[in-house]
Homo-oligomer: A and B are copies of this chain.
Amino acid sequence: IDARDRMALDDLLEPLHGADIADLIEQITEFQRLTLVELWSGNIDGEILSELDEGLREELLSSLPAEDVAEAVRELDTDDVVDLIENLDDQSQAGVILGALDDADRVAVEQALTFPEYSAGRLMQREVVIAPSFWTVGQAIDHLRTAEELPEQFYHVILTDPRMRPVGHVTLGKILSSPRDMPLADIEEDSFRTFEATDPEAEVAYAFNQYHLISAAVVDEDDRLLGVITIDDAMSVLDEEAEEDILRLAGVDSEGSLSDRTLGTVRRRFPWLGVNLVTSILASLVIAQFDAVITEIVALAVLMPIVASMGGNAGTQSLTVAVRALATRDLTGANVWRVIRREVMAGLINGVAFAIVMGIVGVIWFGNPMLGAVIGVAMVINLGVAGLAGVGIPVVLEKVGVDPALASGAFVTTVTDVVGFFAFLGLAALWLL
């Protein structure tokens, strides 16, 4: 493809959707990327830019001529421009982009940037369709027909009072299916909700999902209309939040992406591995207390990772369920004790089941019934503790304001390792020596 054939490239990329072209740019090598930009820079439009990964976007912006960037940016809605600018490390690029906008858009973008990151104010677009609440369907239609500039996509007409405070909204479907003399106020939706510009975007996404919203008005502290958030923005936020939780649970910093370089990857993985090193040394210290027992019965060294590993797995199961339930607000003060009780009971019951299996394995493998008993009892203890720690630790972390997805894993596996080794080797010291 990259035989520097401009025409072939045009034929190939022209029919594709911006999001697909962005994916393609992410997947080719760096050298191919530079060639592509060189050959095709005039065609890289705002949509492609706003679909690109943050890291690549910056790289691409710096290699594109300023006028191409300006042209690409001008066609975007203000919320996409905000998204573009807020992730730029390089302030001069932000200047170029802002300079390319017309005055009204620039003011809108600059105002949006005054709201905190990850807030409704950053997510909203300024382009809104409003009508006074005393208008009729006919007046609204006439207004829309003569309006100069309408948003790319809109789903509601927002009704406002004379002081620009939103008081309700009407779906376009209702407007289209009602007679011209119908007052807008008579066909407004009863599910009208507004957000404050400073509301966190996670709250907004949650509400969109929970109440099946399509678009919602954003207001300032005086309840005046600032802009509107549409469902596609809420959908991306929801998607990002879930993605973040998945990666954080595995101890991966969520800012990374597949097109990062090796050193960036190393840096992002390092902290979590460091935490894990400290916690596994803690577990080793527990083992070190029992080195005399291990020298006596080497079978203990062979079997001890099983107890710890089963506890770690059971703990991770409980933990993941708890972290997700906290994120989706299914786990609250009202049911936390019931959930903890259930997880502990489930751990104990599974513990007994596997204790029986491992007890038998212990007897067959090492011909020692007491060794089977030791591993069995240790397993029951550790799986019960795993259930308790798996729910308890994320709940406590959430209470003290730490993201449970990020930190719970390290705590829970430390608990199950320490308890697992201690219970197994401790019981062995008591019963087998």
Contact = CB atoms under 8 A, between A and B. Distances in A.
A424 to B, nearest CB: 12
A214 B172 CA distance: 14
Nearest to A366: B288
A300 B191 CA distance: 65
A35 interface: no
A113 interface: no
Nearest to A189: B153
A372 B295 CA distance: 21
A361 B282 CA distance: 13
A258 B331 contact: yes
A314 interface: yes
A17 interface: yes
Interface in A123-182: 129, 140-141, 144-145, 147, 150-151, 153-155, 171-173, 175-179
Nearest to A274: B354
Interface stretch (A57-65, A102-110, A305-313): A305-313
Nearest to A286: B302
A79 interface: no
A319 interface: yes
A140 B257 CA distance: 46
B246 A249 contact: yes
A280 interface: yes
A346 B141 contact: no
A277 B357 contact: yes
Report copies per complex.
Answer: 2
Nearest to A257: B330
Contacts of A44: none
Most buried by B among A176, A298, A343, A345: A176
A399 interface: no
A96 interface: no
Given A177-B150, A310-B280, A251 B288 contact: no
Contacts of A252: 317, 320-321
Most buried by B among A147, A208, A273, A358: A273
Nearest to A346: B265
A24 B138 CA distance: 42
Contact of A287 (B277, B283, B302): B302
A316 B250 CA distance: 6
Contacts of A357: 277
A34 interface: no
A258 B325 contact: yes
Interface stretch (A2-10, A84-92, A221-229, A236-244): A236-244
A284 interface: yes
A197 B410 CA distance: 45
Contact of A301 (B20, B287, B345): B287
Interface of A: 17, 19-20, 23, 26-29, 129, 140-141, 144-145, 147, 150-151, 153-155, 171-173, 175-179, 191, 208-212, 214, 231-232, 234-236, 238-239, 242-243, 245-247, 249-252, 256-263, 265-266, 269-270, 272-274, 276-277, 280-281, 283-284, 287-288, 291, 294-295, 298-306, 308-310, 313-314, 316-317, 319-321, 324-325, 329-332, 334-335, 338-339, 342-343, 345-346, 349-350, 353-354, 357-358, 361, 413, 417, 421
9 contacts: A19-B210, A19-B212, A214-B231, A214-B232, A250-B319, A250-B321, A262-B345, A273-B350, A291-B299
Closest 10 CB pairs of A and B: A250-B320, A172-B172, A242-B242, A301-B301, A265-B346, A280-B309, A144-B177, A291-B298, A280-B306, A262-B345
